[in-house]
Structure 1
C-alpha cells in the first residue's frame, strides 16, 4: 500500500532544534536527560510518558547497516522486517504501537527525516557515527509535534562536542560492504564552534530472491549512500545563541533484484535557530528550515512471451521533486508553585511537490507522461502546562490547534481529472493529558489520554502509479485520519536498574486505505487498478515492556517485549480483513542483549531478537516468517586513540522470508554478514 502522510512536523524547528540544543545548558549525562517527551530538558526517570533512550555506546555495540536495524529492537517501534537498503524507498514505513503504515514522526537535529513527499524515512540520512543519542517517545505526540507524530516521536540528536576533535572510522566485510566516516569539530572560541561530518556507506548486496524464483536477470541488491553536514554554533551574547546547519545526502540503490530497476535520491537541507534567554529563565526560540529533494525510480516490466525474471524493460520512470519549508516560534517559561512551567508555540509548514512519470513500451518508446502535483500548508499552535498540585503528582496538559490546506493540485493521469484539483481545507483540535504519581522514590504510576491526526502525503494525494495493464490512483480528496488513545503504566528505577511497563489502546478513524476498481472505472488499456480512499477504522491494543540493568561494571543487560493486537475493525470494501492483524505488524516481539566488559577494555555483546509471524497484506494471504536472529559485536582498544571492532549480523545465518508484498518476488532476509573495522579519535 502506498505510503502515507505528509508532515508538518512543525514544531519541529524550535521543538526539535530546541530539543537538540537544550542539553547545552543542562547538567547531567546524555543518558539521564531527555527533551523530546515534553519539549524541555527532563530526567528520563521522571517524565510522564513511555520513553526509551539509545546512547552512542549502545548504537556502536549493535551490528547494523543503518539506524533502522537498531530501532527495530525497541519496544513498539514498527519497521519493515527487511533492512532499509534492501527494499524500495517508498516502502520504508515507520509507525509505533501497532498503528502500521507511516504513523510516527522522525526528527534529525530539528528537521523532519520523514520524506516530505512520501512520508517514508531514508535511514541512510542518519549516519550512525554522528549520533549522540536517540530518544523514542511512544504514544500520540501530535499535540506537541504535529502531523507525523500520531503514534510517537523518534528524535535523533547528533554529537555536539565542546572541544576541537576529530574521529575517524573505517570498516569493511562480506558482500563488498564498507563504511567510512569523519566527524570533526573546530572550536575557535567559546563563542564560535564549527562541526563537519562526512560519511559513505556501501554494500554490493546479496541476492534477495528465493533460489527457485531467480532467473537470468536476477542480481544482488547494491546500495550506496553519502552524507556531508556542516554546522555552526554562535554565542551572539550572554543570552543569545544561534545554530546553523547545511546537510547533503544522496543514495543509489538497485532494487527488486533485477538489472534495470534502480532508485536515486538526493536532498539538501538548510536549517537554523536563534534562542533568547531571559532573566526569568524563559526562552524564546525561532527556527527555520528548508529541504530540496529529488527522487528518481526506474521500474521494469516483463516483455510479452517471457517468464518473470527472464527478461525486462523499463516500463516507467518517475521523477518526484519536492520543496519543503518550515518555521516555528516557541516560548517556554519555568515557574515555582503549583504551575511549574508553561510553553506556547506557533508553527508553519509548506510543501510543494510534483511527480512526472514517463511511461514506455517494450521498444523503449515513450508513450506518455503522467503528471501529478500540488501543495500543502500546515498552520498550527500549541500550549502546554506542567501542574503539580502535590510534589508527588505531575499533570502535564497540552492542546494543539491545526489547520491543513491542500491547494494548487493538478491531476494529469489517464482516467484522472486531467486538470486542476479543487482545494481542500481541514482543521483539528488535539488535546493530551499525562499524569505521573510517584508512589515511592523508586516506583511511579503513569496514565495518559490523547487525540492525534495524520494528514495524507503528497504521494497519497497526487502520485498515481501504473504498470502494464494496471493503474493505482492517488486521490486529492483524501481527508486526515484521526486517533484517540489512552495508556497506563509504571516505572521502577534503582541504582543500575530502570524498568518500564505500559498498556495502551488506540482507535483510528477515517483510515487511509484503497479500493479495487471495477472494469467500468478503468481507463482504456487497463485491466485492473485501485484508488486511495478513507474507509473504516482500526484498533491497536498492547503491552510494551523494557528493562536495563547494570549489576556490575563488567555486565550490562537490556531486554524488551512488545505484544501488539492491531486489527481492522471496520472496512466495508474489504470485509475479509476485519478482525485480522494488520499487515506488517507481528503480535509478539522479544529482544535482548548482554554486554560483558573484560580485561583491558574488551567488550563482547551478543544480541537476540524474536519476531512472531506477520503478513504482507491485510487479508493474510502473504505470510512473512517468524524468526529468531542472533547478532554479535566485539570491540577492543588497541591504544587510547585506536579501537578495533568486529560486528556480525545473523550469526547463525537464519534465512527467512522478510518481505512479501504480492507485487514482486518474495525477499529473503539478510544473511550472515561480518565486518571488521577501526575507530580513531584525535583531540
Structure 2
C-alpha cells in the first residue's frame, strides 16, 4: 500500500511538471482567457430535462455534504438514505427517476470531464467531493450519447471545479458541531500569468452519531465514527491563444465505523487527469485519466459480535481517454464527433471467519476486467424558433478475465471458477426538439436509448448485510434504456423560472437483488424497471429573497417473470414515490445570508419483496452567515432542526438511523 501511495503521489507531481512550462511561458494576459473548463455544451442539450446548481446553492447547505446538494435537484437519490458519514461507501450509488434495483450508479457522474464511479463497485466517492470546491453541478436526465455515455441510463451529473473567480486567492473554514466533530477546509487559487493553479484540502472527523436505536443497542454497539480527508490539485495554462492545458489530481482516504465495534470500512483513491481544450475554429477536447482505488470492510456478526468477514482489500484501477472534435459548421449548426475508451480492473480479497470460534474458515478472491470503446456523433440544427438535435453512439463492450477462487483455512483450493469472456456491440440513439413558442416559453420533447454494463462487483462479489446474503452473478447482461419525455421551461418574469417535465423510462434487463430463499438474494436481470413520473423545479427571486424548490413524483414498477416473477408489479427497492425540497434564502446585504431548507422523502421499501418499509421523513435545515470583518465570516449551520427520525435501513425490524439534529458553528476566511 505504501509503495502504491508513493507512485500516485508521484503522478500528482508529474502533472505539475507538465503544466509548469506552460505556466512559466505566459502570453499577453489581456488577449488570453483560461477557463479551466470543458467546451461549452451544444445548444441542443436544452431539449433535454436539466437543472444547474451553483456555488450560491452550496452556501445554503447545512450539512456541507455533496449528497445533500445533489438532493436538491428533482429525482436524484442514493441507493440508501444514509449520508457519507454513516453509510457503507459501496452503497453510494446515484440514480435518477427510480431506475435502480441495487446500489450501483445508473447515472454517469463526471468531475471536470472524468468519470468518478469506483472501477470495481460502481459507487461515487462522495466524501472526496467537498461541494465548496465546485463551481457548478449540471444535471442532465435521460440516456446519454456523448462522451463516456455508456452508463448514463438515468442521466448525467457533470461537476465542474471552481477556479480563482469563484474561490478567490485564499479561502478557508473551520467548524465544530455539538458532538465535538470538526470540518476543516481550505483552498489556495493563485493566478500564474495567464493561467492559474488551485490547491485545496478538506478533513472531516468525529465520533459520529448513534445509527442504532437505543432499544436495539448492545455492548458492542458504537457510534458511526468517521475520519476522512481529501486533497485536490488543479492547474490550467495556455499553450496558444486558443488552446489550454488542464491538469488535475485528487487523493482521498475515508474511514468509517458502522453499527458495531470493529465494523470498520475504508475507501481510498488517487486520481489524475490531463485535458487539452481547443476553442478555435476547429474546436476539440482531448482527455486522459488514471484512477487507483481500494476498499476494505469488516462485517461483525449481529449475534456473536465476532468478525465474520474481512474484505481486507479490493484494489481497482480505471483508465480512460476521450477525443472530441467539433468542425466549423454553418450558422445555427453544431457537429460533435468523438471516441472514448474506458477500462476497469479490480480484485476482491477477503477472509471469512467463524462467528463462534473467530477462526478463519475460507479465503476468497474474485475479479475481472470490463472495458468499453465508444464512437459517437451529434448534430444540432436551429430552424428559426426551433432547435433539433440528433445523436448516435456505438459501444464495443467486453467482460473478460472473470474468476472466483476460494480456499479453506489450510490453503486448499475448494472452488476455482473461470468465467468465459464476452463482448459485443450495442448502439444508442438520442433525439430532441426544443421550440421557443413565446419569448418566455420553451417547449421540449426528447427520446433516447442507452446502456449500462454490469460492474465487477455485481458480476463476481457476493456480500452480506446481516442477516441477508446476496450472491454475485457472472452471467449478468447489460441494462438497456428506452425512454421519452416532454416538458416546458417558462420564465414569465426575469427572476421567475418554472421547469416541468413528464417522462416514461424503461430499463430492460435491469439488475436487481432478487430474493431466492430465506435471507438469500442473487443479482439477476429482471425483465425491466419501468418508471413514469413528473419532475418540477421553481426558481424565484424578489429583491434580497430567493426561493428554490424541486419536486419528483414517480411510479416505478418491476416487470418480472420466470424465477423473478415474485417481483412483478412491485416498486424497486429503496425507491420513494415522492421527493421534494425547497430552500428559502435572504441576503439582506453583501456577504450576509440566512437560509432554511425543507426536504421530504416519501416512504420506500427496504427490499425487493416489499416486506420491510422505510417510513417517510421530512427534515428542516438552516444556515446563517454573518460578516465580522472584510474577510471573516461567522458561520452557523443546523441539520435536521426538528430532530426527525430518519430510518435508513430496516431488515426485519433491525433498524439503522440517519443524522439527528446537529448544530455547527465556525468561521470562514476569504481573500
TM-score (norm 1): 0.87
Q: Where in structure 2 are the equivalents of 1:51-130 lying within 5 Å?
A: 51-79=50-78, 80-100=80-100, 101=102, 102-130=105-133
Offset, 1:573? 2.5
- Give structure 1 stretches of 5+ with no counterpart: 1-23, 303-307, 519-526
State whether structure 2 residue 258 is matched by structure 1 residue 269. no
Displacement of 1:238 in angstroms is 2.2
The worse-fitting range, judged by mean Cα deviation, of 230-239 and 594-603 is 594-603
* Partner residue of 2:600 out of 576, 601, 610: 610
Q: Which residue does the alignment assign to 1:676?
A: 665
Is 1:491 aligned to residue 508 of structure 2? Answer: no
RMSD: 2.6
Check whether the contact 1:236–1:242 (CA below 8 A) recurs between aligned residues. yes
Instruction: Answer whether contact 1:343 1:383 (CA < 8 A) is retained.
Output: yes
Q: 1:274 to 1:201 in 2, by over 3 A?
A: same
Partner of 2:262: 260
Match of 1:401 in 2: 394
Shift, 1:188, TM fit? 2.5
Change (3 A) 1:358 1:384: same
Q: How many angstroms does 1:227 deviate by?
A: 0.8
Moved more, 435-444 or 78-87: 78-87
Shift in Å, 1:134? 0.9
3-state SS, counterpart of residue 127 of structure 2: helix
Does 2:636 match 1:632?
no
Alpha-carbon shift at residue 445 of structure 1 (Å): 0.5
Whether 2:364 is the aligned partner of 1:370: answer yes
Question: Out of 445, 448, 458, which is 2:446 matched to?
Answer: 448
| C-alpha separation in 2, matches of 1:603 and 1:465 | 45
CA distance in 2, matches of 1:444, 1:164: 36
Aligned in 2, Cα 1:530/1:587: closer, same or farther, shift over 3 Å? Answer: closer
Q: CA deviation at 1:88?
A: 1.1
Residue 6 of structure 2 corresponds to none
Residue of structure 1 equivalent to 2:525: 534
Q: CA deviation at 1:515?
A: 4.6
What is the aligned partner in structure 1 of residue 9 from structure 2? none
- Residue in 2 aligned with 1:150? 153
Provide the rounded CA distance (Å) in 1 between the counterparts of 2:96 and 2:282. 33
For residue 42 of structure 1, report the CA deviation from its aligned partner: 5.8
The answer for the alignment partner of 2:381 in structure 1 is 387
> Is the Cα–Cα contact under 8 Å of residues 526 and 564 in structure 2 kept in the other structure?
no
What is the CA distance between 1:432 and its match in structure 2?
Answer: 0.2
Mapped to 2, the partners of 1:675 and 1:647 lie a distance apart of 5
1:336–1:315: structure 2 CA closer, same or farther, 3 Å change rule?
closer
Deviations 1:125-177 (A, max 9, x none): 11122111111111222555422211011111111116971111111112232
For 1:344, the equivalent position in structure 2 comes to 337
Tell me by how many angstroms 1:25 deviates.
13
Residues 176 and 205 of structure 1 are in contact (CA less than 8 Å); yes or no, is this contact kept in structure 2? no
**1:65 Cα deviation from its structure 2 partner:** 4.0
Aligned to 2:321: 327
Tell me how far 1:585 sits from its aligned partner. 1.3
- Output the TM-score relative to the length of structure 2: 0.89
SS of the aligned residue for 1:585 comes to: coil
Q: Could you tell me how far 1:70 is from its partner in structure 2?
A: 1.9
Q: Is 2:230 the partner of 1:210?
A: no
Displacement of 1:47 in angstroms is: 1.6
The answer (yes or no) to whether the contact 2:89–2:267 under 8 Å persists in 1 is: no
Aligned residue for 2:190, secondary structure, equals strand
- Which moved further from structure 2: 208-217 or 571-580? 571-580
Find the partner of 2:349 among 335, 340, 356.
356
2:505 aligns with: 506
Instruction: Quote the residue 2:171 is aligned against.
Output: 167
2:654: which partner in 1?
A: 665
**Compared CA separation, residues 515 and 617, structure 1 to 2 (3 A):** closer
SS at match of 1:62: coil
SS across alignment from 2:58: helix
Trace 1:426-505 onto structure 2 (pairs within 5 A): 426-465=424-463, 472-493=470-491, 494-505=493-504
Q: Provide, for residues 217-270 of structure 1, a one-character-per-residue CA deviation record: whole Å limited to 9, x for no partner.
A: 111001121111122212122232111112110010001x10010111110001
Counterpart contact for 2:533–2:554, Cα < 8 Å: yes
Question: After alignment, is 507-516 or 129-138 more displaced?
Answer: 507-516
Counterpart secondary structure, 1:70: helix
Structure 2 spans left out of the alignment, 5+ residues: 1-28, 408-412
CA deviations 1:47-102 (Å, max 9, x no partner) are 22211111111112111241102212321112222212211111112100111242
Change (3 A) 1:491 1:454: same
Partner of 2:301: 301
Displacement after TM superposition at 1:405 (Å): 0.6
Q: Deviations over 1:489-511 (max 9, x none)?
A: 00012311111000000111112
Cα 1:600/1:529, change in 2 over 3 Å:
closer
Name the CA distance, whole Å, in 1 between partners of 2:214 and 2:466.
Answer: 26
| Separation of aligned partners in 1, 2:397 and 2:577 | 34
Contact kept, 8 Å, 2:514 with 2:608, in 1: the verdict is no
* Separation (CA, whole Å) in 1 of partners of 2:149 and 2:536: 26
Pick the aligned partner of 2:542 from 551, 563, 571: 551
Contact 1:492–1:499 (CA under 8 A) maintained in structure 2: yes
Do the aligned partners of residues 357 and 500 (structure 1) sit closer, same or farther apart at CA in structure 2, a change above 3 Å counting?
Answer: same
Matched, 1:422 2:425: no
Q: 2:617 & 2:312 partners in 1: Cα distance? A: 35
Select which of 180, 186, 205 maps to 1:182.
Answer: 186
Q: Distance in 2 between matches of 1:122 and 1:589?
A: 23
Query: How much has 1:368 moved relative to structure 2?
Result: 2.3
CA distance in 1, matches of 2:146, 2:248: 27
- 1:563-642 correspondence to structure 2 within 5 Å: 563-598=553-588, 601-642=591-632
Alpha-carbon distance between aligned partners in 1 of 2:478 and 2:30, rounded to the nearest angstrom: 38
Conserved 8 A contact 2:298-2:307: no
Q: Specify the SS of the correspondent of 1:268.
A: strand
Look up the SS of the partner of 1:129 in the other structure: helix
**Following the alignment from structure 2 to structure 1, what is the Cα–Cα distance between the partners of residues 40 and 618?**
38
- In structure 1, C-alpha distance between the alignment counterparts of 2:353 and 2:148, rounded to whole Å: 42
SS of structure 2 residue aligned to 1:347: strand
Shift of 1:668: 1.6
Q: CA, structure 1 residues 144+447, in 2 after alignment: closer, same or farther (shift >3 Å)? A: farther
Q: Secondary structure at the match of 1:460?
A: helix
Q: 1:625 to 1:261 in 2, by over 3 A?
A: same
